[in-house]
A and B are shown apart, each in its own frame.
Chain A
């Protein structure tokens, strides 16, 4: 780690969805503020913004996982003096997910990742019930 840990502002923005959409899909919205300590290539002067909107994690009868449907939308936006990155994830239990990671460094490199992912295993309240 770097010799000096400089706390910077870490903010999660979750105002990406409209109130109507939030009501319909029971979206979870968060605002996060605190200190961030970095090492490596991440600039310690960076400001980080991220948003997280999550739909209901479990819908339906948890005793029958085949009937469970999950919709999750997550978007992260990270901004700093040298880096801009965004993560957009959309997951659904029975549908194909799409993951897009975009990292852009203003200085020397740009790295972006696009990945098509499929959620194939979900254990939600099932485990909790099993433990009880």
Chain B
């Protein structure tokens, strides 16, 4: 079981046709990992990026099961939510992945 927290400041550059803008951001992030068993691991990452114009929230949830010595099966769900987006774009993006992971 492990927990890692990160914080920092930065700047976000956004480039859009005819309306470029920059903004300072504050980033808070956490990474949590839980060993469920000898062969299974649960992980959760959360990140918040506070900006003057928009906020971005990120979440990455995954569970990994080792099936062979150097081969694992991973299921992960990644979410990204941005409070202010250009017209015509979605505020939330999701990525769901089912993958095999080979360590070498």
Contacts and interface: CB of A to CB of B under 8 A. Distances in A.
B1 interface: yes
Interface in B18-36: 25, 27, 29, 35
A64 interface: no
Contacts, number: 140
B12 to A, nearest CB: 5
Interface in B45-104: 49, 74, 80, 86, 89-104
A117 B7 CA distance: 5
Interface residues of A, number: 45
Given A111-B15, A123-B2, A128-B1, A116 B94 contact: no
Closest 9 CB pairs of A and B: A34-B99, A115-B10, A117-B8, A40-B93, A110-B15, A40-B90, A37-B96, A127-B1, A121-B5
